Each structure stands twice: as C-alpha cells, then as structure tokens.
Amino acid sequence: MRRLWPPAIEARSTRRAKPQPTMEGLIMATLDETKRDKLKDSTFGLPEERKYPMPDKSHARNAKARASQELDAGNLTKGEKAKIDRKADKVLGKD
C-alpha cells in the first residue's frame, strides 16, 4: 500500500489542533486550518499571499523567526522580511 504524505486535506480538516508542550513546559499556540481560513488578510505578515499569520504574540514571534530563516535560505526578500517584522512588532507592542 502506498502512503501519501502529507495526509489528505480531508483527513487534516477533521482533526482538532491540540496545544503542543514546549521544552520550557509552556504551551505553544496552535492554529488549525479552519481558524487560519477565518483570519482577516490584515492578520498576516504577507497579506497578499496569506503567509505568516499573526493572530497573537506567539505567532508573531514565530513569524519573525521563520522570516529570518527564509531570508537566509534565499526564499524571502529583505523588503518582505521587513514587512513581516513591522507587522510582528505591532502585534508584540514594540511599535
């Protein structure tokens, strides 16, 4: 039997996201497909692509970290990273 990866979208959409423990024992924020689809475009770091969602501070910190990784990998421009960082800083209250 051949396995498909990632699992079919139908299978993913029926699962509920569960909070994941981190190394520090804190709970990471999760954002399942249904909740992500309901977010306004303005909630994303790159709203035109609906990438880097930032509904809360945890996701904003994560978006900044992922943007740095993608910039280093050559998958993101400096302007896109700056846009993500500005949005994340607003969410984090660092404006």
CB atoms within 10 A of CB 59: 22
Query: Does some domain include residue 74?
Result: yes
- Based on the structure, what is the number of domains in the chain? 1
CA distances 50 to 25, 33, 64, Å, are 30, 12, 15
Give the residue, 14 or 85, on which the prediction is more confident: 85
Q: Residue 74: which domain range?
A: 41-95
Q: What is the pLDDT of residues 14-61, one digit of tens each?
A: 555 555 555 555 555 678 899 999 999 999 999 999 999 999 999 999
Look up residue 6 and give its two tokens: 């990632």
Query: Does some domain include residue 8?
Result: no
> Whole-model pTM?
0.69
Predicted pLDDT of residue 29: 64
Judging by beta carbons within 10 Å of its beta carbon (0-12, 13-18, 19+), is residue 60 exposed, middle or buried?
A: buried
Query: Does some domain include residue 12?
Result: no
Predicted pLDDT of residue 30: 78
Give the residue, 2 or 74, on which the prediction is more confident: 74
CA distances 63 to 3, 27, 76, Å, are 31, 17, 12
Query: Does some domain include residue 66?
Result: yes
